[in-house]
Structure 1
């Protein structure tokens, strides 16, 4: 397996893990709060923004993480926004419509 194949496999695995966790929490929050889907999705987007800020802070300044990532907020935010738009325009074979209902919203 080439490095590119290994990286692609790890990206796909990470995406599936994050999507599953977020979908589960999305349904859980709607069930527990009765909030409408767009309110919960807005909160999820805000959480991603908050996590970005925390990660960027941890990679900036004199005690920055040594991994080599240097945050650049304008382009990073553009990349995150483009990822959201791209995902919204894609249809997945397995999505929330095929997920068993866990409660009522």
Structure 2
């Protein structure tokens, strides 16, 4: 596996675990329905995109080189969301499971 793929998978697992933990906590604390909390999470991702895009749209930009393209970026984000929603969960990946105790 290439280094970039490994880092991407690790980042994906970390982000997913973080969002799942916060999702469950928000539902528990607020009593909101799952879809209401998911809508709020989607709005949060959108506002993060806007904030990051605004910083990267400055003439000086960022040394990372990314330049936002709102229309295509939103299409990519929407496609990623739709794809993930349609995927059936594969068998449990032990790397993604939360450690509960120690042996």
TM-score (norm 2): 0.84
Q: Does 2:35 match 1:38?
A: yes
Unaligned runs of 5+ in 2: 98-103
Secondary structure of 1:64's aligned partner: coil
Give CA-to-partner distance per residue, 1:61-98, whole Å, 9 cap, x none: 13421210010000000000000000001122349xxx
The answer to whether structure 1 residue 89 and structure 2 residue 86 are counterparts is: yes
Q: CA RMSD in A?
A: 2.0
| Alignment partner, residue 100 of structure 2 | none
Secondary structure at the counterpart of residue 61 of structure 2: coil
Higher relative contact order (CA 8 A, sep 6+): 1
Aligned equivalents of 2:61, 2:28: Cα separation in 1: 39
- Other structure's SS at 2:50 match: helix
- State the SS of the aligned residue for 1:27: helix
With the length of structure 1 as denominator, give the TM-score of the two structures. Answer: 0.83
Give the Cα separation in 1 of the matches to 2:88 and 2:14.
18
Alignment of 1:1-105 (within 5 A): 5-92=2-89, 93-94=91-92
Gaps of 5+ in 1: 100-105
